[in-house]
């Protein structure tokens, strides 16, 4: 090759040229904002390990969603924190559970918001596991019925999409069947397909009071050493009726996002989880980083790896501060 025929720096010389040649197009409309909702009125409890994120009662959730909507956020993911927990997660599928009530209120007052609900039992179980427990085992098949009931109750309350995050085998199929049987033929399932047993969920478990009381989640969530297995999980979920699949967390699994994008014939979501958010917040608090640049780089990297959409607690900062186009 002619010496200097290629100088990659030629197309890095100005912001305008960099804009033209950028391979990854970031679009903040593809972000989803998570919320934690609990019983009560006028409740707003800041989550210490997630600065800027609060646990709120439904009245305050409506206020937050309204303010977010004014800033441009129109897609949300709902998590519920029930008043009482038990061994069969009764509040998860109760018609008057906190998530079910919240969905109805948002639909009534803010119909322009797309509501996705997290379907899991851990927040509703006294032991904090994502399924029915016998001895120290988490039972798979008996749990499926409760998950299907939970998803159905969200659908009946008006959810636009359900997102099972429990990692039981066969849950997408069980939910799909129950939705079909009850006339919800058009309701999409966003499956947490490749969900890893991750230390990055720590702050979330503070937020949702859902830390397991014994053991951990490694008998159902994935092992971080595995990537081929993630492909298997995704293909199974698509086969069972998932419309969108997910990789979670995002940053330690960018390679998995890249792999899944190549094999899935559905859109792909990535969850930029609580610990990834808190890392940035703590770094910023310590004066060790520029938050806007950190967030921009992180979100861009997840899109670059292949995600079509991202769930991120930074969505509010991104919209209100105008950090991303
Ligand atoms: C419920 C659930 C968890 C998260 C989403 N859904 C926690 C867990 O599996 O322990 C984590 C989200 C986050 O860390 O932001 N199963």
d(CA 166, CA 269): 16
Catalytic residue among 30, 108, 134, 195: 195
- Determine which residue's CA is closest to atom 14 belonging to ligand 1: 201
Q: Are 207 and 53 in contact (CB under 8 A)?
A: yes
Interval 256-271: pLDDT, tens = 999 999 999 999 999 9
Q: Which of 248, 261, 262, 281 is the catalytic position?
A: 248
Residue 284 confidence (pLDDT): 98
Confidence of residue 283 (pLDDT cuts 50, 70, 90): very high
- State percent of the chain over pLDDT 90: 98
Cα 220 to middle of ligand 1, angstroms: 13
Average pLDDT over residues 263-292: 98
Element (H, E) at 61: helix 58-71
User: What pLDDT was estimated at residue 181?
Assistant: 98
Confidence of residue 4 (pLDDT cuts 50, 70, 90): confident
| pTM for the full predicted model | 0.97
Tell me the average pLDDT of the chain.
Answer: 97
DSSP string, 111-125: TTSEEEEEE-SGGGB
The hierarchical CATH code for the domain 26-321 is 3.20.20.70
Query: Binning pLDDT at 50, 70 and 90, where does residue 170 land?
Result: very high
Closest ligand 1 atom to residue 212 Cα is 10
Domain ranges for the chain, please list them: 26-321
Ligand 1 pocket test, pick from 201, 208, 220 with the greatest ligand atom count within 8 Å of Cβ, gives 201
Q: What is the pLDDT of residues 181-229, one digit of tens each?
A: 999 999 999 999 999 999 999 999 989 989 999 999 999 999 999 999 9
């Amino acid at each position: 090759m002619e010496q200097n025929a290629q100088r990659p720096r030629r197309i890095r010389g100005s912001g305008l040229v960099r804009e033209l040649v950028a391979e990854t197009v970031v679009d903040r409309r593809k972000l989803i904002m998570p919320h934690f909702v609990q019983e009560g009125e006028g409740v707003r409890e800041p989550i210490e390990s997630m600065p800027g994120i609060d646990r709120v009662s439904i009245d305050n959730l409506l206020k937050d969603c309204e303010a977010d909507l004014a800033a441009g956020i129109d897609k949300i993911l709902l998590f519920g924190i029930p008043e009482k927990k038990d061994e069969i997660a009764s509040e998860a599928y109760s018609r008057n559970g906190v998530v079910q009530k919240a969905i109805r209120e948002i639909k009534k007052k803010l119909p322009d918001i797309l509501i996705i609900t997290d379907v899991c039992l851990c927040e509703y179980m006294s032991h904090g596991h994502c399924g029915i427990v016998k001895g120290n085992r988490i039972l798979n098949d008996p749990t499926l019925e409760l998950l299907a009931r939970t998803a159905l109750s969200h659908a009946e309350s008006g959810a636009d999409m359900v997102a099972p995050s429990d990692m039981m085998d066969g849950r997408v199929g069980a939910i799909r069947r129950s939705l079909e049987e009850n006339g919800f033929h058009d309701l999409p399932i966003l499956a947490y397909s490749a969900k890893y047993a991750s230390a990055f969920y720590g702050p979330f478990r503070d937020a949702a009071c859902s830390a397991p009381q014994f053991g951990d989640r490694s008998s159902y969530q994935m092992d971080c050493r595995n990537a081929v297995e993630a492909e298997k999980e995704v293909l199974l979920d698509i086969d069972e009726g998932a419309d969108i699949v997910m990789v979670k967390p995002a940053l330690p699994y960018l390679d998995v996002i890249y792999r899944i994008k190549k094999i899935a014939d559905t859109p792909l979501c990535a969850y930029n989880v609580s610990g990834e958010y808190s890392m940035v917040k703590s770094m910023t608090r310590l004066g060790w980083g520029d938050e806007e640049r950190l967030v921009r780089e992180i979100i861009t990297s997840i899109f670059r790896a292949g995600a079509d959409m991202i769930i991120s607690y930074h969505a509010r900062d991104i919209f209100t501060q105008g950090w991303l186009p």
